[in-house]
């Protein structure tokens, strides 16, 4: 049974159709990259999955439940967390305060303190630099550290699937390597499913797994990341020439 299933998803902004009839499934434990040029509809699709932008048509199922059009906080509680593009941290808050915001817990909930403490320690085990600087303002962190923070914040809900939009954006290659090393380790240690948007297919080829290529709001290719990255069909589809 698939963990995530999209059926004929269409997303519109006014008269503009950003995503058209996209369908795919994602099984538990899988890593799936969505790649393609600017304007392909990749980020719009991710926002629809996370409940930020309700689709104009189609259906999204997660863990056997229809989540189409549900509120982002409800979807997060079900085990699907999104890391948005741009490392959206609360700069004036401390690292630990940023992480606690990500729990989705409230003081009125039973055992919320112990649950939050457990999730905090798990995040700190994954990203020790965050523990070392937990009382520092998040706005003072480097770009790579902020990326670790927003991934850590997504982990605070103990998700089954994390959807990440452009995790390497603006980062030096060696920092990007570190971020991906942690993501792959998390996938193994916490049985996470990863859905990652990257404009370039290079990272998908390095990491492996499955890759979907989008262009013009549609899925053109879907297959093994390494095999696709070396194919002429991939180049033709990405740049929009020849037969797909």
pLDDT per position as a tens digit, 126-185 = 899 999 999 999 999 999 899 999 999 999 988 999 999 999 888 888 989 988 998 999
Cα of 93 vs its chain's centroid, Å = 23
Stated pTM of the model: 0.89
Could you tell me the fold of the domain covering 2-239? Rossmann fold (3.40.50)
Quick one: pLDDT band at residue 239, thresholds 50, 70, 90?
A: confident
Tell me what pLDDT residue 106 has. Answer: 47
CA distance 10 to 23: 10
- Residue 112 CA to residue 157 CA, distance in Å, equals 12
Distance CA 27, CA 177 (A): 25
51 touches 66 (CB < 8 A): no
Report domain extents, the chain: 2-239
């Amino acid at each position: 049974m698939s963990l995530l299933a999209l059926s004929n998803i269409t997303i519109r902004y006014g008269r503009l159709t950003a995503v058209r009839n996209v369908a795919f499934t994602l099984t538990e434990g899988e890593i799936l990259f969505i790649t393609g040029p600017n304007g392909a509809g990749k980020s719009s699709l991710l926002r629809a999955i996370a409940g930020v932008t309700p689709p104009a048509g189609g259906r999204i199922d997660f863990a056997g439940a229809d989540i189409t059009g549900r509120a982002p906080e409800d979807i997060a509680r079900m085990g699907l967390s999104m890391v948005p593009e741009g490392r959206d941290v609360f700069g004036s808050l401390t690292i630990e305060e940023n992480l606690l915001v990500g729990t989705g817990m409230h003081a009125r909930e039973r055992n919320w303190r112990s649950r939050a403490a457990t999730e905090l320690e798990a995040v700190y085990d994954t990203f020790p630099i965050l523990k070392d600087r937990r009382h520092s303002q998040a706005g003072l962190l480097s770009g790579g550290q902020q990326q670790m923070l927003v991934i850590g914040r997504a982990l605070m809900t103990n998700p089954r699937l994390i959807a990440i939009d452009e995790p390497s954006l603006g980062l030096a290659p060696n920092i990007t390597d570190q971020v991906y090393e942690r993501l792959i380790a998390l996938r193994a240690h916490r049985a996470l499913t990863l859905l990652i948007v990257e404009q370039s297919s290079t990272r998908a080829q390095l990491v492996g797994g499955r890759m979907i290529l989008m262009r013009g709001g549609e899925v053109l290719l879907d297959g093994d990341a390494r095999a696709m990255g070396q194919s002429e069909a991939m180049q033709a589809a990405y740049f929009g020439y020849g037969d797909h």
